[in-house]
Structure 1
Amino acid sequence: MVKAVVLGAAGGIGQPLALLLKANPLVTALGLFDIVNTPGVAADLSHIATPAKVQGYLPPDGGLKKALTGADVIVIPAGVPRKPGMTRDDLFKINAGIVRDLAEEIAITAPKAFILVISNPVNSTVPIVAEVLKKHQVFDPKRLFGVTTLDVVRASTFVAEIVKDTTISPNVTVPVFGGHSGVTIVPLLSQSSHPLPASFDQTAREALTKRIQFGGDEVVKAKDGGGSATLSMAFAGAQFAEKVIRALKGEKGIIAPSYVHLAADGAGGKTVQSEIGKDLTYFSVPVELGTSGIVKIGALGPTNDYEKSLIRAAIPDLEDNISKGESFIQPSKL
């Protein structure tokens, strides 16, 4: 029995994410929560003949607590999407409070659940959830994840297009480290499962890196005010959630990228900190998953000079993003 919960289930990411989880035969119960329309989304999904029993809740009458009760995996896409002209700071001011309030109830009702954070800016919202859980003395770094799968999906898709892989991206894997916004996204193209052509020069490499880093902007611009990357993000979120669920059910050797607290694996976390030359608290790395969450944090491995420069460029933004999330919850020292 696996209960998955989507917080923000009526939104642009939440609805397709809920659909993908309903279609997953590993999910036996699906709890949906949002401030509007959730019962309708649940009714719609309940007509699909898969094992998951769906229930939708609204805020009145303890709806959030009811949705979270018995949760094994909680996915959080709640919040507002980024619109043209909106900065990450603008997004933070709105979404930080939403994520904080959801985390408060998670800490009380489902502290042992795996928590998968999609709400942007992930670099800051994951620390917010962690600080709330610490306040309630239930923080387990092995069970908290920032979903960065979309960065790998984009990188793999774009490289597949370049190498003209006939089966497209499922056969191509490009590791992506760092964070989940702009320059904090560090694709290690040198480690691609399918090497780029010899004719692919440094200028082309830099252009591809930028496209991976700012792929979200590409979608925001194309939607022309109609939203952000919702469908691809839902796909990536469901893909990561499935890996977590498979590991929860006992499958071994599952590795997935995620933005995690490096204390989740002391040895692995320290190795990553040594590789990047900075004692960052959070970093996106490949993690091995198990029944209790993170089993092992993977290392960066060999990087070239250009990739090392990308990591150096990512660190100041990551430090600022992490500090912003932590200080949003921590009381002022003044």
Structure 2
Amino acid sequence: MVKVAVLGAAGGIGQPLSLLLKLNSNITELSLFDVVNVPGVGADLSHINSDASTKTFLPSSKEDKTALLGALKGADLVVIPAGVPRKPGMTRDDLFNINASIIKSLAEGIAESSPKAFVLVISNPVNSTVPIVAETLKQKGVYDPARLFGVTTLDIVRANTFIAQLHPGDSKPSDFNVNVVGGHSGETIVPLYSIGSSASFYNKLSEEQKKELIHRVQFGGDEVVQAKNGAGSATLSMAYAGYRLAESILKSFTSKEEVVENTYLNLDASIKGAAEAKKLVGGLEFFSLPVKLGKNGIEEVKYEILTKVSADEEKLLAVAKEQLAKNIEKGVAFGK
């Protein structure tokens, strides 16, 4: 019996994400919450002949908290795509003032109704919204850093796709699983192409191609915003990325094989390898790294990857750390 709650289920990310979750055989109950249009989304999904039951929760007013608490009650896993999407010219930081308040109120609901749930934060800016959730759960006395995940999987998905596009015929996106570390906006995104299966393909590129590839991964979201011409941001690819992390977490509950994914996490000393990782990233409290997943959440941080980066990647990491420090501070201050 696994209950998954989607907060923001009627939005551009929420709808395709809910569809993917409805098809997962490990999920028995899908709980959909939003402030608009969610009954229609739920009715639509409920016609699909997969085994997960579908329930929807729509507040009757801005002050109504019963819908959120009902959606979250007993949830094992909560995915949060709620918030305002990026528009042309907007950075993820521009979204902060709007989305920060939304995220804080949702985190308060989680603390009250499903304090032991795994929480996956998609809402941007992730670099700041994850610290907001952490601070809110701390205040409520229910915080477990091993159960809080910032979804940075889209950066990996893009990194895999974009390098394959530079080697048509020789590779395909599914050949790669590039580790992307740091954060989830602009220059805080650092793809480690020099490590693993991507290295030989990456090394064939000219210096200019390498720079263009890194920039494309870092600012891939802008491509989608511009292509949609003001009609939205990355929704379908983000829904897939969010689902991939959720699927891996669910798989880790029962898998005998090691399940590893990258996520933006709190480098709390209670998690194996987190203290070592924190030293390597200059004392930052939050950072995206590969982690081993298990039935209790994040079991181990695979920090060793940071000792294998190239000289060029070291330079990228230096920039990322500087920006991340500000993003984290902003989120923590708001959360407090």
Instruction: Give the TM-score normalised by structure 2.
Output: 0.95
Q: Which moved more, 1:84-93 or 1:232-241?
A: 84-93
1:31 equivalent in alignment to 2:28: no
Q: Tell me, which stretches of 5 or more residues in structure 2 are unaligned?
A: none
Equivalence for 1:13 = 13
Equivalence for 2:315 = 309
Quick one: distance in 2 between partners of 1:264 and 1:22? 35
Specify which of 148, 172, 188 is matched with residue 192 of structure 2: 188
Equivalence for 2:231 = 226
Q: Which moved more, 1:259-268 or 1:209-218?
A: 259-268
Quick one: distance in 2 between partners of 1:264 and 1:15? 36
Equivalence for 2:280 = 275
Q: Which amino acid aligns with 1:321?
A: N
Equivalence for 2:2 = 2
Quick one: distance in 1 between partners of 2:333 and 2:214? 31
1:210 equivalent in alignment to 2:215: yes
Q: Tell me, which stretches of 5 or more residues in structure 1 are unaligned?
A: none
Secondary structure at the aligned position of 2:268 is classed as helix
Deviation of 1:199 (Å): 4.0
Deviation of 1:197 (Å): 5.6
Conserved? CA contact 1:69–1:109, under 8 Å: yes
Conserved? CA contact 2:271–2:298, under 8 Å: no
Quick one: distance in 2 between partners of 1:306 and 1:101? 40
Q: Which amino acid aligns with 1:272?
A: A
Structure 2 matches for 1:106-145, cutoff 5 A? 106-145=110-149
Query: Deviations for 1:217-268, whole angstroms, at most 9, x for unmatched residues?
Result: 1111111101000000000001110111111345541000000001165451
Deviation of 1:198 (Å): 4.7
Quick one: distance in 2 between partners of 1:143 and 1:104? 15
Identity of aligned residues (%): 53
Structure 2 matches for 1:1-334, cutoff 5 A? 1-60=1-60, 62-164=66-168, 168-194=172-198, 195-196=200-201, 198-249=203-254, 251-263=256-268, 265-276=270-281, 278-299=282-303, 300-330=306-336
Deviation of 1:318 (Å): 0.3
Conserved? CA contact 2:271–2:299, under 8 Å: no
Quick one: distance in 2 between partners of 1:110 and 1:266? 21
Quick one: distance in 2 between partners of 1:192 and 1:218? 27
- CA-based RMSD: 1.4
Deviation of 1:147 (Å): 0.4
Conserved? CA contact 2:272–2:299, under 8 Å: no
Deviation of 1:87 (Å): 3.0
Deviation of 1:173 (Å): 1.5
Q: Which amino acid aligns with 1:234?
A: A
Secondary structure at the aligned position of 1:31 is classed as strand
Relative to structure 1, is the Cα distance of residues 185 and 40 closer, same or farther in structure 2, using a 3 angstrom cutoff? Answer: same
Secondary structure at the aligned position of 1:30 is classed as strand
Q: Which moved more, 1:248-257 or 1:232-241?
A: 248-257
Conserved? CA contact 1:141–1:264, under 8 Å: no
Moved over 4 A (4+): 264-267
Secondary structure at the aligned position of 1:257 is classed as strand
Query: Deviations for 1:41-97, whole angstroms, at most 9, x for unmatched residues?
Result: 011000001110000111136111111011000000000000012233320010000
Query: Deviations for 1:107-139, whole angstroms, at most 9, x for unmatched residues?
Result: 010010000000000000000000000000100
Instruction: Give the TM-score normalised by structure 1.
Output: 0.95
Conserved? CA contact 2:146–2:271, under 8 Å: no
Q: Which moved more, 1:263-272 or 1:60-69?
A: 263-272
Deviation of 1:201 (Å): 1.8
